[in-house]
Amino acid sequence: MVGAAYGYQWLKFRPTRIGAQKQLDEYISQHKALESFGDLELDVSTLTFAKLEERLQKPSMRLGSARISSRVGWACGQQDCLIWVWFKVPPDKEIPADGVPLALMVSDGWGSLFGSNQHISINGAYLREPDQQLREFCKKRGFGVEKGMNQITWDQDWNLIWTSVEGKTSSLYFLNEPRLQKAALEAKSILPGKTQE
C-alpha cells in the first residue's frame, strides 16, 4: 500500500520535477557561459557593438524586440541570456560596429548560490554588491538622483535600475534615456494609421 502511494506521488509530481530540472539546466548553462568571460568590466560611456564583440565574442542569441529594435544576448541557455543589449536596429538589419546600445542588462541572480566569485562590473557598479554601496558610489560620482525604488541616475545619458536579493544586486539594467526617448518617438511615427514625414 505504501509503495502504491509513493508510486502515485512520484508519477503525479514527475512533470513538476522535469520542469524544475530543465530550468536548473538552463541556468547552469547560462552561468557557465557567463563565467567563461572571467572578470567582466564594461563601460557604458564608450560601449559599442564592436566593443561588445571584442570582449564577449559574437552574440549567442539575437531577437527582434520590436519593428525598429533588436536585442542580442551572451551567456545564453536555450531560451534566455544573462547579458542582453538592445540596439535601435530593425531585426532584419545588421547591427553596425559603431552602434550604441539603447539598454544593457546583466544578471546573475543565482550566482551566489553556485559560489561564484566572478567580478562583473559596469562602470564600477558590481553585481552582488550591497544596494547601499551602489547608491553611495553613484552619489560620489556626482549623480545618483533616485528616480524610484532601485532606480538612479548614472550620468547625463544613462539611468540605472537594479534588482536585489537579500540587499545585494542581482541584476543591473542601464538605460540610455535620450536614445530610448528618440526611439519611442520614431516608433510612434511608424505605427499603423500614422503618416511618416
For the chain, give me the number of helices (H) and strands (E)?
4, 11
Average pLDDT over residues 7-33: 66
d(CA 106, CA 110): 13
Any idea where the domains of the chain sit in the sequence? Answer: 2-189
**pTM for the full model?**
0.79
pLDDT value at position 46?
A: 92
Residue 14 Ramachandran class (φ > 0 left, ψ -120 to 50 alpha, else beta): alpha
Percent of the chain at pLDDT > 90 equals 31
**Residue linked to cell 505605427:** 191
Is residue 189's pLDDT more than 70?
no
Band of residue 100 on the pLDDT scale cut at 50, 70, 90: very high
Is residue 112's pLDDT more than 50?
yes
pLDDT value at position 83?
A: 93
Backbone phi and psi for residue 3, each to the nearest 5 degrees, phi listed first: -65, -40
What is the average pLDDT value for the chain, to the nearest integer? 81
Average pLDDT over residues 113-138: 81
